[in-house]
Chains A and B, each alone.
Chain A
């Protein structure tokens, strides 16, 4: 009998062991190691010859212009992507929320293309098609990825396209779980369409919106693929984001790259904290 009780007490730990091992080994430990690395000038050829330099890497970070420009690029990118994706996803989801087969097809079409075919957009030939459309409409064409002004915008647009499918799906599911009788009661209370949206729909899906907001912010701060493939960080570092910045130093200055990674983590943690502080009150859980 005792053996059985022992097994029952140990069993939960056995069940979570592989998962926790994976997390500790490949997430927690690396984070701690990263922090340690940030205090060193790492020697790739001979690890033992790495020099402890304290906070030097960090002072470098905060005094270098290229760090700040990477930071600003990342912030601009994040704000652009989060705002546009959230608003567009919300609008499209509301538009498509009525349960009809047509809506389901549109929904499926959008999500397939944007979730699964992520790569396609990144490879689209210099917006040749887009330029043709612009020309035929009499509008000026653009060099899109060649000009630093439009390069960032192009990357933002591509990322928004990639995100909309996924997030509309989440919002549509949330919208469809609102009992219709609440809208009927509001109709009897003589509420107009906008009033229903602001006072009923939005609060009821606020948990999902909050979730999306956090996920998108974190996701935007770690953008890399799109940048590397479409612009290679250019032109003139106009699209170099923080992770791309880290990537550039990953073999030459490991300590410096690690320190930047630490700063990136701190920023993400800070943002999450701010979100919770500011918005948690407005989110209506049930």
Chain B
């Protein structure tokens, strides 16, 4: 069973310029277990989310990412274990008092209140005086571009506008933690791309801790400071995007991130699997001299404009290869090669073998042997 791997964040930290008066907090989950009736969905999970960072919880449906976030919010309390925000155990603290704001997937804006009333609802409950409320609402609506819609009802707004209302409602409370549950999934493709960029800029400006849940790995890769990849209630890997991509901790991570996913094949020795990314293989009409070279036939060709994806079938495997040039056509015979430094090996337990592992040399040879021209 693949074990989760921890890696320290490395590389660029990104800007964390703090806007005036904004708080931020770290989040920690300690030995957290969650079960629904008899079903244990998360068991003894430990996670530290750094303050000020944009952390993305990503994984397939049912992996527990939304459950995790709802535990942080206090909407679905954990069955055992503790949740700490800024070092303080918030288990007994109701959701409205944790300093946490959330944007729901379906926005959950109050349908019978105007946009203005939606935004100031939380402020009113927190006894913010009237003048300050007005000021805050005005300024936030300016920020998200909702000024002209303040007195409209949600049913008269478009999807994108409703999402901004949900965002404004969360932001105006100046929370220490921002939670977002797949906020872009209900938007059309074009708007989604635009909002992605806006959210990244928002994070840069506010510097608050962002926890973002998505099943879309492209969103995860493009927005995150740290990615937390989950599967079936367990953390598979927790690292910045570059690390996750270039040094995946196990087979699941390797095949989840990346489009098309990493090519894998059985080595035939010790239950080891080898793998390489589609863009690292080289296709040519003549046999090459790469560490792993094989002959194959092009099965399908998808020309996407900036790149072309070929499905290549060899005697033992079928691989997806990504090329920037479009030199081949279907049913053509090609030679595929992968350089040694682009090859990954995964043990029988699914974990990736580190470059410095002794056994790599042996497996490299085994692979070399399988090459043919």
Residues of A within 8 A of B (CB): 179, 181-182, 184-192, 195, 199-200, 203-204, 206, 284, 286
Interface: B224 (CB within 8 A): no
Please, which residues of chain A bring their CB within 8 A of the CB of B73?
A: 184, 188
For B113, the closest partner residue in chain A by CB is: A199
Please, which residues of chain B bring their CB within 8 A of the CB of A184?
A: 73, 75, 95, 102, 104, 108
Cross-chain contact B96 with A190 (CB below 8 angstroms): yes
For B97, the closest partner residue in chain A by CB is: A190
CB distance from B213 to the nearest CB of A (A): 14
Please, which residues of chain A bring their CB within 8 A of the CB of B101?
A: 188
CB distance from B329 to the nearest CB of A (A): 51
Please, which residues of chain A bring their CB within 8 A of the CB of B169?
A: 185, 189
Cross-chain contact B121 with A199 (CB below 8 angstroms): yes
Please, which residues of chain A bring their CB within 8 A of the CB of B110?
A: 182, 185-186, 199-200
Please, which residues of chain B bring their CB within 8 A of the CB of A187?
A: 74-75, 94-96
For B105, the closest partner residue in chain A by CB is: A181
**Contact flag A191-B121 (CB < 8 Å), given A181-B104, A181-B106:** yes
Residues of B within 8 A of A (CB): 73-75, 94-97, 100-102, 104, 106, 108-113, 121-122, 125-126, 155, 169, 173
Docked CA distance A186–B97 (Å): 12
Most chain B CB within 10 A, of A181, A187, A188, is at: A188
Cross-chain contact B121 with A189 (CB below 8 angstroms): yes
The 30 listed contacts between A and B (C-beta, < 8 Å) are A182-B108, A182-B110, A184-B95, A184-B102, A185-B102, A185-B104, A185-B169, A186-B121, A187-B75, A187-B95, A188-B96, A188-B101, A188-B122, A189-B96, A189-B121, A189-B122, A189-B173, A190-B126, A191-B96, A191-B122, A191-B125, A192-B125, A195-B125, A199-B110, A199-B112, A200-B112, A203-B112, A204-B111, A206-B112, A286-B111
Nearest 10 pairs between A and B by C-beta?
A190-B96, A189-B122, A203-B112, A181-B108, A185-B108, A284-B112, A190-B125, A187-B95, A188-B95, A184-B75
Please, which residues of chain A bring their CB within 8 A of the CB of B121?
A: 186, 189, 191, 199
CB distance from B119 to the nearest CB of A (A): 10
Cross-chain contact B108 with A179 (CB below 8 angstroms): yes
Cross-chain contact A179 with B106 (CB below 8 angstroms): yes
CB distance from A273 to the nearest CB of B (A): 25
**Contact flag A284-B126 (CB < 8 Å), given A181-B104, A188-B100:** no
Docked CA distance A185–B154 (Å): 15
**Contact flag A286-B155 (CB < 8 Å), given A186-B110, A187-B96, A188-B102:** yes
Please, which residues of chain A bring their CB within 8 A of the CB of B113?
A: 199, 203
CB distance from A137 to the nearest CB of B (A): 41
For A202, the closest partner residue in chain B by CB is: B112
CB distance from B129 to the nearest CB of A (A): 16
CB distance from B259 to the nearest CB of A (A): 31
Docked CA distance A239–B323 (Å): 91
Docked CA distance A186–B75 (Å): 11
Please, which residues of chain B bring their CB within 8 A of the CB of A192?
A: 125
Docked CA distance A179–B101 (Å): 19
Please, which residues of chain A bring their CB within 8 A of the CB of B125?
A: 189-192, 195
Please, which residues of chain B bring their CB within 8 A of the CB of A195?
A: 125
CB distance from A125 to the nearest CB of B (A): 48
CB distance from B132 to the nearest CB of A (A): 16
Please, which residues of chain A bring their CB within 8 A of the CB of B109?
A: 185
For A201, the closest partner residue in chain B by CB is: B112
CB distance from A192 to the nearest CB of B (A): 7
Please, which residues of chain B bring their CB within 8 A of the CB of A179?
A: 106, 108
For A178, the closest partner residue in chain B by CB is: B111
15 other A-B residue contacts (CB within 8 Å) besides A185-B102, A185-B109, A286-B111: A179-B106, A182-B110, A184-B73, A184-B95, A186-B110, A187-B94, A187-B96, A188-B95, A188-B96, A189-B121, A199-B110, A203-B112, A206-B112, A284-B112, A286-B155
